[in-house]
Chains A and B, each alone.
Chain A
């Protein structure tokens, strides 16, 4: 039998263990900015401090409700949003950190309505997708926020034997990553204070107050399941750690 395979090109940024924060948007973070008022705006996107994109945003009837912008991808030259619509900023790949600024333009006047480097404005949403299992701490000193996110590894389905497959009448239930969990950030409180999700799922922080959230992994993250598994083709048995032996005679 002849075999061929074209290797997987891994999006390594997904698996980097680092703090996630709104002030430096990276892969696995999303900032959703709402536009409550109609008008003309201009968006600026910077990568590692350098301006990489600048475009007008029109908020008026006839626009779409939401546009998600991949800051690591190609950009549109202009954006048209409906009143109360939103722009979502995320990085689909790469390890760079991004910041976003949005100005409202009224005549010759400009007013900054979003400066992600300074934090998340009240009313916006900040989302983090957590991939590595373990515990994560959520902090925002200005709002006295201190919460925990527990990330568990979903169960890997075993391969079904032929008979079991044949006997099943409905498809097997699948693990889904597209079930985000909502958390509200208010002054001095995060509701709920502890969140449990499965790896690959997202926590969305609805910021009722301006905030500067930071989500960082704690060092007590468990090892991945497969780390203890035997290499392919090997049989491995794991024993308890050896003690220090007898310390006294008799």
Chain B
């Protein structure tokens, strides 16, 4: 039987979640070159809201956590393919092609869709204890270390300067809505790219001929981007798959909750009697065998006392 039992209500985890929503910021930028197409993004998001639910199966659920985008800029650049006249073969002889423009004309746009995209996160995890040895601390990733340092510096959390038991909400599942760009965004991008490409082409015979050869700017853009019918679906796919932003966010959240900021900390040794003005020294006992469990109403932490 455990020597010590501590019970805590949802407010303990709520405090941890407030630390999460106040301090979790995901920021990333990348560019990818796919030959005729370049894609890139600069994104920054934070979390808002969220409710906590202790569940009877020993898990904690955080739901209705809104992922709010401060910046959701996507960069698309197109190299316009060569447009040539002539060519073809007559019997065994083949004719050269002559290209209407040389150089490497290209266009790019960088719209920011932060205000138009909303996503929600839900997390189910277990509360697990980990021992923190101040002389041999676990390796943390750079982002986590940065967040910890900031939170300690601004007094949000106690410094990590002693041996202690730390309880983390270790995620078992995190669900994040897939990027789903509405039709209007697809149309906006296609219209912008079309207008830019058309502006590059001189008027008169040149324009008519180029447009006849390439079969319309929209078709060229589709061919270069290798997309089917819907721009918005393609855009959603590159965010969900090519960029893999969702994975980055889920990993960052899992690290933040599971390894970075504990929901509860128990010093080891644990002081059971403080020092007195009369000169008695404090009494502290070592804590061992910490176990945490959750039921529908509370978080229960049990531990043994002794060496």
Residues of A within 8 A of B (CB): 1-11, 14-15, 27-28, 30, 32, 65-66, 68, 70, 86, 88, 90, 92-93, 125, 127, 129, 131-133, 153-160, 162, 165-166, 172, 174-180, 182, 198-202, 204, 224-227
Contacts and interface: CB of A to CB of B under 8 A. Distances in A.
B192 interface: yes
Nearest to A160: B218
Interface in B93-108: 93-108
Given A133-B205, A200-B85, A224-B208, A8 B215 contact: no
A203 B207 CA distance: 22
A175 to B, nearest CB: 5
The number of chain B residues touching the other chain, given as a range, is 35 or more
B84 interface: yes
B101 A66 contact: no
- Looking at B77, B187, B213, the one whose CB has the most chain A CB atoms below 10 A away is B213
Contacts of A9: 101-103, 105
B90 interface: yes
Binding site secondary structure of chain B: mixed
A125 B212 CA distance: 28
Contact of A125 (B93, B96, B98, B208): B93
B88 A179 contact: yes
A3 B107 contact: yes
A232 B112 CA distance: 26
Given A70-B96, A201-B86, 4 more contacts: A6-B106, A129-B85, A179-B88, A202-B87
B98 A178 contact: no
A172 to B, nearest CB: 6
Nearest to B194: A159
Interface stretch (B145-153, B195-203, B293-301): B195-203
- Looking at B86, B194, B218, the one whose CB has the most chain A CB atoms below 10 A away is B86
A7 B196 CA distance: 10
B110 A225 contact: no
B212 A153 contact: yes
Given A10-B101, A93-B102, A200 B86 contact: yes
Given A5-B108, A5-B200, A70-B96, A199 B209 contact: yes
A152 B205 CA distance: 11
- Looking at B99, B102, B201, B205, the one whose CB has the most chain A CB atoms below 10 A away is B205
Nearest to B75: A2
Interface of B: 77, 80, 84-90, 92-112, 187, 192, 194, 196, 199-209, 211-213, 215-219, 229-230
B92 A28 contact: no
B98 A28 contact: yes
A238 B229 CA distance: 36
Contacts of B217: 159
A86 B96 contact: no
Contacts of A177: 84-88, 97, 213
Given A9-B103, A93-B102, A159 B216 contact: yes
A153 B105 CA distance: 24
28 contacts: A3-B110, A5-B107, A5-B108, A5-B200, A8-B101, A8-B202, A10-B100, A32-B93, A66-B94, A125-B93, A127-B95, A129-B98, A131-B205, A153-B212, A156-B212, A157-B219, A158-B216, A159-B194, A162-B187, A162-B229, A166-B229, A166-B230, A178-B87, A182-B90, A204-B90, A204-B95, A226-B205, A226-B207
Contacts of A153: 205, 208-209, 212
Given A90-B98, A172-B215, A1 B110 contact: yes
Contacts of A200: 85-86, 209, 212-213
A202 B108 contact: no
Nearest to B79: A6
Contacts of A127: 86, 95
